[in-house]
Chain A
């Protein structure tokens, strides 16, 4: 915990990283309060349509214009923040859960179990991650939960590997031997001693991955295998605007801008944090190309 507060202190000093921090905090806050600050909730949730208001360009009353159903895009993009947040936390949370568990068991048990688990993990590495997610999402069908599952399944291998490496180096430390000598059960050792010490790199990585999670979920929705309409998820809004892009550029552009800003925020923050952290670990993360 103290590490984290130290990191935050350093982040605040550099202006670029500070901007990143603001964006991320802003995203999380907006995501939480969005449903309550909507000016046109019916438009946002997709419960209504009005032919007379279709395809209005951006104006004061409709800062982001309206879509083909006459719904206000500003409200829809705003509500979309909430769903992006849900997806980001969901994906990263589930992937972490699976990844940590598998990495922990494989790292601690070693031997054949480790080889088996790592082989399975390797099979996932045979694919570009988003491709796997696309295949899974296409199979599972549309839906918020399905998107989270598809992305989480595509992502956990990276976390598993990170944890595996960490656990491997920790388990050879003397105090673990000491614990074994005393007679503590393996499970206890795993969860009480090894786990807390191997979490730092992977949790930092995961929290920064939230930006990529939003991006990939948007790509899935864009392809039509993500969340179903009328959920105003940004990728879905972009794809809905694609058909009318010549007539109404605003429908696709503004949700995309929102996406860009959020991802920039996470990237800026992650850059800063990585520069501050342990250089060896940084090298590890860099080599992973993350």
Chain B
């Protein structure tokens, strides 16, 4: 089914409705829970007057529908609230943190695809033989490793015992000051290249290797397995065999026909492992102290900082549904047989 404008509109609209519903539900849940956020707002040893004032500032004494109305109004005006924990606007906090996470995820996915797909192809070509089995075992193990545990182990071995790579953080601050590095887009790898700052580029690379490697293991294994499974299926199909009969070189067959047909579900599965990877990023950021959204969400959740939590939840929901929608559309472009 070709993509129609009508489909796009319908899809985006339903996306918005869903996200809206999510915002309202999350908001209500967070207000119904018996927490007393004014205590966070007022500081560690407040006086009763300070607490009362905090309650008023946070509109906590008013009707919950009123609070919801005020909140939604602010939302549409671009005011996503002030974090009860950091006392700074939530959007600012997120703007700082989001590129860091995106950079991590993009690098991780790149590694996953660059290693995973060829691995899967290789396994499919050698199916049934020892190499295939070895790759199969590796990918199964890769898909079974708990991200947070793997992060701890990798950090222990490479950061503490062997000391070959930094154990945490995103960049060496002393180097930043000495070379005058300024973030422009927030993607440090890009920014350092734009500024011609090779020292920082290498330093960021050093810092990003371990966490992105850890994060890439799951999507890598998944894409290897998917690629292999589907390549095998496709390689078995009639027209491939008949093309073989006609003597067309195997490589041409593999890349042009088989891969093209197998790509679509792989893209779909990568899109779905994206969800798992977001949470994986969350845990990896925690352990490697990577200053991204995951760390921010973790801190906000654990201190019950509702404005921050809602904002991050909305952002993640938007991202996630958008990626899903893009994946579905991509899927449909590549494989016209797929029904939307």
Contact = CB atoms under 8 A, between A and B. Distances in A.
- Are A and B in contact, CB atoms below 8 Å, in the complex? yes
B278 A222 contact: no
A126 B19 CA distance: 7
Interface stretch (B61-69, B94-102, B143-151, B190-198): B143-151
A171 to B, nearest CB: 19
Contacts of A256: 146, 149, 152-153
Contacts of A165: none
Given A126-B22, A252-B152, A260-B145, A267 B269 contact: no
A269 to B, nearest CB: 10
B49 to A, nearest CB: 31
A286 B229 contact: yes
A184 interface: no
A6 B141 CA distance: 26
A6 B229 CA distance: 22
Interface in A124-154: 125-131, 134-135, 138-139
Contact of B272 (A219, A242, A260, A288): A288
Given A134-B279, A286-B230, A16 B136 contact: yes
B156 A249 contact: yes
Interface in B184-241: 222, 225-226, 229-230, 233
Main secondary structure of the interface of A (DSSP, over half): helix
Interface stretch (B38-46, B175-183, B317-325): B317-325
B316 A127 contact: yes
Could you say which of B19, B26, B145, B309 has the most chain A C-beta atoms within 10 Å of its C-beta? B145
Contacts of A271: 136, 140, 225
B152 A245 contact: yes
A236 to B, nearest CB: 12
Contacts of A204: none
A87 B166 CA distance: 36
A53 to B, nearest CB: 23
B313 interface: yes
Interface size range on A against B: 35 or more
Contacts, number: 126
Main secondary structure of the interface of B (DSSP, over half): helix
Interface string A232-253: 0001001000100110010011
Interface string A277-290: 00100010011110
A286 B152 contact: no
A130 B276 contact: yes
A289 B316 contact: no
Contacts of B30: 139
B146 A259 contact: yes
A127 to B, nearest CB: 6
Interface of A: 16, 119, 122-123, 125-131, 134-135, 138-139, 211, 215, 218-219, 222-225, 235, 238, 242, 245-246, 249, 252-253, 256, 259-260, 263-264, 266-268, 271, 279, 283, 286-289
Going nearest first, the 3 A-B pairs with the smallest beta carbon separation are A289-B272, A128-B275, A256-B149
Interface of B: 14, 18-19, 21-22, 25-26, 29-30, 33, 133, 136-137, 140-141, 143-149, 152-153, 156, 160, 222, 225-226, 229-230, 233, 265, 268-269, 271-276, 278-279, 282-283, 286, 298, 301-302, 304, 309, 313, 316-317, 320-321, 324
6 contacts: A16-B137, A130-B279, A225-B301, A238-B148, A264-B141, A289-B273
Given A131-B313, A268-B140, A279-B233, 13 more contacts: A123-B25, A126-B321, A127-B320, A128-B275, A128-B320, A130-B275, A138-B301, A215-B146, A238-B149, A264-B141, A266-B144, A283-B265, A289-B269
